[in-house]
Every structure is written in C-alpha cells, then in structure tokens.
Amino acid sequence: MREGRERFAWATQSQEIAGLREELAREHEKLLALQDIGAASGSILNIDELLSLVVSRITRVMECDRTTIYLLDEEGKELVARVAEGEQRHEIRLPVGLGIAGWVARTGQLVNIADVYDDARFDPAWDRRTGYRTRSMLCVPMKNRLGRPLGIIQCLNKRWGAFTIEDEAMLSALGAQAAVTIENGRFFVQTIQKNMELLETKQQLERRVRELDVLVEIAQVSAQARSLDQLLEGELQRAVHAMEAEAGSILLAENGTGDLRFRCAFGGNPQAVKRMRIPEGTGICGWVAKNRQPKMVNDVSADERHRVDVAHSVGYHPRSVLAVPLFWTEPGELGGEEREGEGALELLNKHKGSGPFTDDDVRLATLMASNISNAISLAKARERTEREERLSGIGQLLSSVLHDLKTPMAVIAGYTRELESETDPAVRAKASQTILKQVDLINAMTRETIAFARGDRSVWLRKVYLKQFFEEVMGQLQRELEPKGVDIELVLEDRGVARIDQHKIQRAVHNLARNAAEAIGPPHARRRGGKVTLKVSRLLPEDSLVIEVADDGPGIPDEIRERLFDSFITHGKEGGSGLGLAVVRKVAADHGGSVEVESVPGHTVFRLVLPQTGQSSTELERAG
Ligand SMILES: Nc1ncnc2c1ncn2[C@@H]1O[C@H](COP(=O)(O)OP(=O)(O)OP(=O)(O)O)[C@@H](O)[C@H]1O
Ligand SMILES: [Mg+2]
C-alpha cells in the first residue's frame, strides 16, 4: 500500500519535473526570442528582413500558425503590412478603425478572441479571398518608448485551443520589445542610408574635383598653345595622366580617304605610331570614329576589332584600350561647304594597380574629347581665316607691284631707245647699267610678292650711301619728268649713310614725284608752278631720315584729303588706280616710320620719316 503510494508519488513527481522542464525550455525559448528581437536592430540593414525575423520568432514563441505586424503609416491613418510571398513582398493596407486589427490600433487595447466568427468586427471576406480559415486571434498594440502608437501585432490560430492570459502577457512583452527593435532598426537603417549617401556624395565630389582639375589644366594648355599640334600634344598628355594610362594618341581621319592617321602620340612608341595609317572603320579607333561612340575594352584579346598587326608593327601591345570619338565641323576649302571632321582619342593600359578603365574614365575622356574637338574646330577656322587674309594680302600686293612696274618699265624703255642711236661706249655702258638696275628692282618686287605669299614679311634694310643713291634716283626722275616740262631739284642736306630698303624707297619716291608732276600738269594747261623738289635731311633728336617730295602745283583736292593714303582713292586723273600713295604708306610702315602731308595751293609736301635708331630698326632687320 505504502509502496503503491510511493510509486504514485514518484510518478507524479517525475511528471511534474517533466512539465517543469518543458516550461523551462519554453521560457528559455521566450527569453532567446526576446534577446534575438532585441539584438536584431543593430545587425540587420533592411527593415523587411528585420520584420520577418521578429515575426518568425513571435510565431514560434506564441505557438501559433501565423503572425502579422502592421505598422502605422506616416499620417497614422492606415496600417501597413509587408507580407512575403516567395521572393516578392506585397503590401496589405487596412484603414485604422476597420476590422479587429483596425480596432486595436484605434483603441490601443488588446483583443483575445477564441473564434473570430463570433466577433462582429471580423470581416470573413478575408478568409474567403485567401482560402485561409481563421479561428483564434490575439492582437496587441505596439507603442514606442514615448507611448506613441507604432502599429499592432496579430497572432492567428493558437496551435492548441485558444490564446491564454499568459499568452496575452507574453505577446504584450514581445510587442514592447519589437517596438523598440523596429524603431531602432528604422533609425539604424536611416543612419546607414545617410552614411551611404554621404559616401556616394563624397565620391561624386571627388570625381567632380578631378574632372574640374583636368578641365582647368586643359584650358591652360589651350591658352598657351601656339599651334594646333602643340595644343593636341598638351591635351593628350593631360588626358593620359588624368586617366592614369600608360600611353595614348589622337587620330584624325584624313580628308578624302577617311583613313585614320596618328596626329600625335604619347608614351609607348610615338615615333613608330606616327607613321601608321588605319583604314576607315577598322580597329577599335576606326569603329569609335565611325560610330561616334566611346569604347572601353579592358581585355583587348577578347575584342576582335583590336588590330594585333598594328600593335605588332609598332612593338607595343596594349592590354586595355579606352577610345572616345572626336568630331567637329570645319570650313570647306576656298569657301566650299562646311565639312565634318572625325577622329578618336585613344588611351592605352590603365597603370598597374589602378585596375581596369571605368565608366568614370569614359565620362572624363568624353569630356576631354569634346574639348579637343572644339579646339580642332577653332584651329581649322583660324587657319582658314589666315589663309584668306593672306590671299587677299597677295591680291593687294600684286596690284601695288603691277602699279609700280610702270616705273622700271618706263626707264628701261627710255634707255633702250637711247641705246639704239648712241655710239659713245661710255654713255652706252651707263645706259645698260641703269637698265640692269631696273631689272634688279623688278626682281626685288617679285621676291617681295613671293615672300609675302609664303607668310614672311620682309624688309631688306641695308646701309645706303645717300648721296649716290639719291643722285641715281634723281637721274631717273629727270628723264621721266623733264619731257613733261617739270623741273626737278635735289636738296641733299645729309650726305651720309642710312639703313633703308633702297628698292622700296625708290618706289615710294617715284610714286610721290610722279603724283607731283601729274598734279602740276602739262605746260599748256597749267596756271602756275612747274617744279618738284626732293629733299633729304635728318630729324633730331631721333636722327630719323626725312625724305620730302614737294611741288608748287594746285594742292590736294579737298574731297580726298581724309582718305588720301587708302587704296583705290584717286581724283582728277584718267587711268589713275589710286594705289600710289597706299604703296608709299606701306613702305613707310615697313620701315617702322610714317608719312605725312601738308598741302595748300602752290605748295604740297609729302614727308617720309624713317627712324634710324632705337629698337624698331633692329627689329626690322631681324624680320628681314
Ligand atoms: N602732289 C599732289 N598734289 C595734288 N594732288 C595729289 C598729289 N599727290 C596725290 N594727289 C591726289 O591723290 C590721289 C591719289 O594718289 P595715288 O598716287 O594714290 O593714286 P593716283 O595717282 O590717282 O593713281 P596711280 O598712282 O595709280 O596712277 C591722286 O589721284 C591725286 O588726286
Ligand atoms: Mg599716283
């Protein structure tokens, strides 16, 4: 009997122990769940992940079938749950106040129902729609530390029977912990997001600074470059450094063939590269130029466009290539239609350690390429303007030369006629010498025209003995003017030497003297005068050489005084071209000097002032 009682007591005890163990295990589980939920906020970067961890822990601890956490939206008008469905998530929205969950959210009170179908607040449409059968439900409000409502937790279908009072206490405790976790999690995620944004902004700023640096450098290069080649070389060098590349080149398509030619190269083997030609559309650069799209190839062996033969012949084998297109419009030849130019900026081998070319590199290279394209377009336009200016200059010069050919031609004709009848060998020798000098003058004028066409501006400053030079000029002038009934007198106040371009001065003096004689007119038509004076003197303190041609004719007509020295200004002459005085002004300017005129009826004087000391004449000599 006693034994039986003992055995019973032992059995009850061990049952109790087993029950206690189970309870202990459950309590342990709850504790772990609470801990898990608490710890989650600091380690999970995504709110969805955080919520699903909390939901799974609660479902386990509450021994129910399903748990949903609804959070209040920002305006506090709707409850929002994000429910996982396979990989995707979809949102369920409930208005606050509607259904059991809505009621809990509005009142802040807990609801524990054994069978929801007995509760008027429950909407069975849910179950009909989802095919789920809801029975028991425990729903608790969640509040943050300050007591502000955050949302609700809803547990459905307790595995055995209904939710108990202990369950209510447990879920309330879990709800409080979850609220803290969710708030912390949100804060944590926000902070992380902010940090990532900051990091991204910082990287963007660094990129911008790098781009700006490069652009500033390029602007400096453009400003300092004296020629297109110098400019392209400078820009290429900057591009190679900015991109941390090993080598690079600028290729431009040839007019006509469209083949790409290396205009400049940096790094690698630039000399060998410059001899190469790449047929239109071939190779990576050909493709880039033709399609006007950038191309980044970080492993050339994988790109069939890569020209191994070119790499082979220049002895440089790139691993990676970044090529961006260049394109611009340029003026056509001799006023023809505008044409499009194209080419490529090519960068080779990102330096060891700095990895492959990146999208950022493509962006920066594209930026530089547009700068280079602009520079090319500007340079081409400038080249054309210069060419046109030179052409029109040649036109002007030619007309002035043709104008002044009159003088030597007239002199040669005169002396040749004289030679016909002259028998005195001394006179003949002098005549032929004079003819030869006029041929020299014609040659000098031809040389000047050709030099100008080449782009040189030449003044041949030589030491000239004034007495000898002007006496010779006088001889020529006498032969020209005396038959027209005009006297000419030479007044040589300076008989020393001067540095002048004698051919040019001779032309100027002839033009002035002829104008004077033409103004005086033929003896029968003239009212007064008939004398031209050529005077040579010095002007102190600069010691300039002064050449004056004066006449006693009617004076300069008022109508043309203002524009007297401009080309094509002529007045009162048949067949006058209006170039004589324009030539005189140019001769003075070429000597760094000036020409001035004073004129009243009966006295007109043109005065050439040619500096002899100081910088201007040395500079001119060097220019010559
Ligand atoms: N000494 C002068 N006295 C009065 N008028 C002058 C004198 N020199 C020049 N002129 C006026 O200045 C004009 C311009 O002279 P310029 O030598 O440039 O051309 P042009 O003599 O008319 O033509 P071209 O020299 O080609 O035969 C002349 O047409 C004339 O009217
Ligand atoms: Mg004239």
pLDDT tens for residues 55-72? Answer: 988 998 899 999 999 999
pLDDT of 538 above 70: yes
Band (pLDDT 50/70/90 cuts) for residue 326 is very high
Q: Which ligand is nearest to the CA of 559?
A: 1
Q: Tell me which of 593 and 448 has the higher pLDDT.
A: 593
Residue ID of nearest Cα to ligand 1 atom 13: 570
Residue 394, in any domain of the structure: no
The CA-based dihedral angle spanning residues 386, 391, 393, 394, taken in that order and rounded to the nearest 10 degrees:
140
CA angle at residue 605 from 600 to 609, to 5 degrees?
Answer: 140
If DSSP codes are grouped into helix, strand and coil, which group holds residue 74?
coil
Dist. CA 578 → ligand 2 center (Å): 6
Q: Which ligand is nearest to the CA of 406?
A: 1
Residue 535, in any domain of the structure: yes
What is the rounded end-to-end Cα distance, in angstroms, of the chain?
145
pLDDT of 520 above 80: yes
Residue ID of nearest Cα to ligand 1 atom 25: 580
Q: Please name the amino acid found at residue 545.
A: L
Which residues form the domain of 184? 37-191
Q: Which ligand is nearest to the CA of 583?
A: 1
Per-residue pLDDT tens digits for 377-433: 888 888 788 877 877 777 777 877 788 888 888 888 888 988 899 899 999 998 898
Q: What is the CATH number of the domain that holds 304?
A: 3.30.450.40
Dist. CA 480 → ligand 2 center (Å): 14
Q: Which of 581, 584, 603 to mutate to test the pocket of ligand 1 (most atoms within 8 A of CB)?
A: 581
**130 and 237 share a domain?**
no
Residue ID of nearest Cα to ligand 1 atom 4: 556
How does the average pLDDT of the chain come out, rounded? Answer: 86
pTM of the model: 0.47
Residue ID of nearest Cα to ligand 1 atom 29: 570
**103 and 241 share a domain?**
no
Instruction: Choose one of 323, 358, 379: the last residue of a domain.
Output: 379
Band (pLDDT 50/70/90 cuts) for residue 477 is very high
CB 120 within 8 A of CB 32: no
Q: What is the mean predicted confidence (pLDDT) over 347-365?
A: 85
Nearest-atom index, ligand 1, CA of 569? 14
If one counts every other C-beta atom within 10 angstroms of the C-beta of residue 67, the result is 21
pLDDT at 185: 78
Cα 240 to its chain centre, rounded Å, is: 16
pLDDT of 434 above 50: yes
pLDDT of 535 above 90: yes
Nearest-atom index, ligand 1, CA of 515? 8
**154 and 265 share a domain?**
no
pLDDT at 452: 65
Nearest-atom index, ligand 1, CA of 572? 31
pLDDT at 67: 94
Residues 151 and 79: their CA atoms lie apart, in Å, by 7
Residues 485 and 480: their CA atoms lie apart, in Å, by 10
**340 and 471 share a domain?**
no
Residue ID of nearest Cα to ligand 1 atom 14: 570
Residue ID of nearest Cα to ligand 1 atom 1: 516
Residues 172 and 110: their CA atoms lie apart, in Å, by 8
Dist. CA 534 → ligand 1 center (Å): 17
pLDDT of 623 above 50: no
Dist. CA 406 → ligand 1 center (Å): 15
**148 and 291 share a domain?**
no
Band (pLDDT 50/70/90 cuts) for residue 500 is very high
CB 131 within 8 A of CB 154: no
Residue 168, in any domain of the structure: yes
Q: Which ligand is nearest to the CA of 569?
A: 1
**184 and 328 share a domain?**
no
pLDDT of 444 above 80: no
Dist. CA 568 → ligand 1 center (Å): 10
pLDDT at 465: 96
pLDDT of 619 above 50: no
pLDDT at 12: 82
**261 and 374 share a domain?**
yes
Q: What is the mean predicted confidence (pLDDT) over 305-312?
A: 84
Dist. CA 402 → ligand 2 center (Å): 13
**242 and 152 share a domain?**
no
Dist. CA 108 → ligand 1 center (Å): 112
Q: What is the mean predicted confidence (pLDDT) over 561-581?
A: 85
Q: Which ligand is nearest to the CA of 562?
A: 1
Sign of CA dihedral 436, 438, 441, 442: negative
Q: Which long-range contacts (CB under 8 A, 24 or more apart) does 560-568 make?
A: 561/599, 564/597, 565/595, 567/396, 567/399
440 HSE (CA, 13 A, CB side): 10
pLDDT of 361 above 80: yes
Dist. CA 455 → ligand 1 center (Å): 30
In the chain, pLDDT over 90 holds for what percent of residues? 38
Per-residue pLDDT tens digits for 482-496: 989 999 999 999 999
Nearest to 314 by CA among 265, 362, 355: 265
- Say which range, 116-120, 187-191, 614-618, has the weakest mean pLDDT: 614-618
If one counts every other C-beta atom within 10 angstroms of the C-beta of residue 440, the result is 13
Dist. CA 578 → ligand 1 center (Å): 6
Residue 67, in any domain of the structure: yes
CB 589 within 8 A of CB 457: no
Band (pLDDT 50/70/90 cuts) for residue 15 is confident
Nearest-atom index, ligand 1, CA of 516? 1
Residues 27 and 361: their CA atoms lie apart, in Å, by 60
pLDDT at 19: 86
The token duo for 548 is 């004056």
**485 and 589 share a domain?**
yes
Residue ID of nearest Cα to ligand 1 atom 22: 570
**41 and 183 share a domain?**
yes
**117 and 233 share a domain?**
no
**49 and 181 share a domain?**
yes
Q: Which ligand is nearest to the CA of 573?
A: 1
Residue ID of nearest Cα to ligand 1 atom 5: 556
Band (pLDDT 50/70/90 cuts) for residue 622 is very low
Q: Where are the alpha helices (DSSP H) in 352-460?
A: 359-421, 425-454
- Domains in the chain, number: 3
Pocket-forming residues, ligand 1, beta carbon under 6 Å: 403, 511, 515-516, 519, 551, 553, 555-557, 560, 564, 569-573, 576-581, 604
Residue 575, in any domain of the structure: yes
